[in-house]
Amino acid sequence: MLRSWIASSGIRLSFVFAMKSHLALLSLVHSVVVRSRIKGVATTEDEALRRVRQSNPGLMICSDQLEQGDGFSLCKRAIQEVCDLKVLMVLTSDGLTSDYSAVSRALDCGAMAVVCEEDFMSPELEVMQSL
Protein backbone atom coordinates (compact mmCIF):
# COMPACT_ATOMS: atom_id res chain seq x y z
CA MET A 1 0.00 0.00 0.00
CA LEU A 2 2.80 2.41 0.89
CA ARG A 3 4.48 1.66 -2.41
CA SER A 4 1.36 2.43 -4.44
CA TRP A 5 0.79 5.70 -2.58
CA ILE A 6 4.34 6.84 -3.19
CA ALA A 7 4.14 5.86 -6.86
CA SER A 8 0.89 7.78 -7.36
CA SER A 9 1.95 10.85 -5.36
CA GLY A 10 4.52 12.17 -7.80
CA ILE A 11 7.27 12.04 -5.17
CA ARG A 12 10.70 11.20 -6.52
CA LEU A 13 11.29 7.58 -5.63
CA SER A 14 14.36 8.08 -3.49
CA PHE A 15 14.37 8.03 0.28
CA VAL A 16 16.36 9.09 3.32
CA PHE A 17 15.42 7.57 6.67
CA ALA A 18 16.44 9.15 9.98
CA MET A 19 15.27 7.44 13.14
CA LYS A 20 16.55 6.99 16.65
CA SER A 21 15.15 3.46 16.72
CA HIS A 22 17.31 0.93 14.92
CA LEU A 23 14.29 -1.41 14.78
CA ALA A 24 12.26 1.25 12.94
CA LEU A 25 15.13 1.81 10.50
CA LEU A 26 15.39 -1.90 9.84
CA SER A 27 11.65 -2.11 9.24
CA LEU A 28 11.75 0.80 6.79
CA VAL A 29 14.68 -0.61 4.86
CA HIS A 30 12.94 -3.98 4.51
CA SER A 31 9.73 -2.32 3.31
CA VAL A 32 11.47 -0.84 0.25
CA VAL A 33 11.55 -3.38 -2.57
CA VAL A 34 14.09 -1.53 -4.74
CA ARG A 35 16.95 -0.97 -2.30
CA SER A 36 18.77 1.38 -4.68
CA ARG A 37 16.04 3.95 -3.94
CA ILE A 38 17.30 4.22 -0.37
CA LYS A 39 19.78 7.08 -0.47
CA GLY A 40 20.58 7.26 3.20
CA VAL A 41 19.92 5.80 6.62
CA ALA A 42 20.93 7.74 9.70
CA THR A 43 20.41 7.99 13.43
CA THR A 44 21.70 11.54 13.85
CA GLU A 45 20.59 14.90 12.48
CA ASP A 46 23.93 15.80 10.91
CA GLU A 47 24.35 12.45 9.16
CA ALA A 48 20.80 12.59 7.79
CA LEU A 49 21.35 16.11 6.50
CA ARG A 50 24.56 14.97 4.78
CA ARG A 51 22.61 12.19 3.06
CA VAL A 52 19.91 14.66 1.96
CA ARG A 53 22.52 17.03 0.51
CA GLN A 54 24.28 14.20 -1.32
CA SER A 55 21.25 12.49 -2.81
CA ASN A 56 18.43 15.04 -3.28
CA PRO A 57 15.73 12.55 -2.16
CA GLY A 58 12.01 12.86 -2.78
CA LEU A 59 10.94 11.65 0.66
CA MET A 60 12.48 11.72 4.10
CA ILE A 61 10.96 9.74 6.94
CA CYS A 62 12.29 10.85 10.29
CA SER A 63 11.47 10.52 13.95
CA ASP A 64 11.18 13.51 16.25
CA GLN A 65 13.96 12.17 18.44
CA LEU A 66 17.34 11.16 17.07
CA GLU A 67 20.50 9.90 18.75
CA GLN A 68 21.96 13.38 18.24
CA GLY A 69 19.85 16.36 17.26
CA ASP A 70 16.13 16.13 16.59
CA GLY A 71 13.74 15.55 13.73
CA PHE A 72 12.16 19.01 13.94
CA SER A 73 15.41 20.78 13.21
CA LEU A 74 16.34 18.15 10.63
CA CYS A 75 13.03 18.64 8.82
CA LYS A 76 13.52 22.40 8.58
CA ARG A 77 17.14 22.15 7.48
CA ALA A 78 16.49 19.37 4.95
CA ILE A 79 13.65 21.28 3.28
CA GLN A 80 15.96 24.29 2.97
CA GLU A 81 18.43 22.04 1.13
CA VAL A 82 15.83 20.31 -1.10
CA CYS A 83 12.84 22.61 -1.51
CA ASP A 84 10.47 19.95 -2.92
CA LEU A 85 11.41 17.34 -0.31
CA LYS A 86 8.43 15.67 1.36
CA VAL A 87 8.82 14.77 5.03
CA LEU A 88 6.91 12.25 7.12
CA MET A 89 7.54 12.87 10.82
CA VAL A 90 7.12 9.96 13.22
CA LEU A 91 6.42 11.09 16.78
CA THR A 92 7.78 8.82 19.47
CA SER A 93 5.71 8.24 22.58
CA ASP A 94 8.34 10.16 24.57
CA GLY A 95 7.83 13.17 22.33
CA LEU A 96 4.05 13.29 22.57
CA THR A 97 2.36 15.73 24.89
CA SER A 98 -1.25 15.96 25.96
CA ASP A 99 -1.85 19.15 23.96
CA TYR A 100 -0.31 17.75 20.76
CA SER A 101 2.19 20.59 20.52
CA ALA A 102 4.63 18.15 18.92
CA VAL A 103 2.22 17.69 16.00
CA SER A 104 1.97 21.46 15.50
CA ARG A 105 5.72 21.80 15.78
CA ALA A 106 6.29 19.10 13.15
CA LEU A 107 3.87 20.74 10.73
CA ASP A 108 5.40 24.17 11.39
CA CYS A 109 8.81 22.72 10.51
CA GLY A 110 7.47 21.63 7.13
CA ALA A 111 6.43 17.99 7.59
CA MET A 112 3.70 17.00 5.15
CA ALA A 113 2.40 14.25 7.44
CA VAL A 114 2.75 13.35 11.09
CA VAL A 115 2.12 9.93 12.62
CA CYS A 116 2.57 8.36 16.03
CA GLU A 117 5.21 5.69 16.29
CA GLU A 118 2.66 3.08 17.38
CA ASP A 119 0.56 3.73 14.25
CA PHE A 120 3.61 3.80 12.00
CA MET A 121 4.83 0.42 13.21
CA SER A 122 1.37 -1.20 13.29
CA PRO A 123 0.65 -4.06 10.90
CA GLU A 124 -2.57 -2.34 9.78
CA LEU A 125 -0.51 0.41 8.11
CA GLU A 126 -2.54 3.19 9.68
CA VAL A 127 0.21 5.45 8.44
CA MET A 128 -1.47 5.37 5.03
CA GLN A 129 -4.42 7.39 6.30
CA SER A 130 -2.10 10.10 7.56
CA LEU A 131 -0.19 10.20 4.31
pTM: 0.81
Per DSSP, 44 falls in state B
In sequence order, what are the residues at sequence separation of 6 or more whose Cβ sits closer than 8 angstroms to the Cβ of residue 59?
Answer: 6, 11, 12, 14, 15, 16, 85, 86, 87, 88
Q: Which residue has the higher pLDDT, 6 or 131?
A: 6
In sequence order, what are the residues at sequence separation of 6 or more whose Cβ sits closer than 8 angstroms to the Cβ of residue 101?
Answer: none
Beta bridge partners of 16: 40, 60
CA separation for the pair 45, 69 (Å, rounded): 5
Q: Which residue has the higher pLDDT, 30 or 100?
A: 30
Which range among 9-23, 53-67, 93-107 has the greatest average pLDDT? 53-67
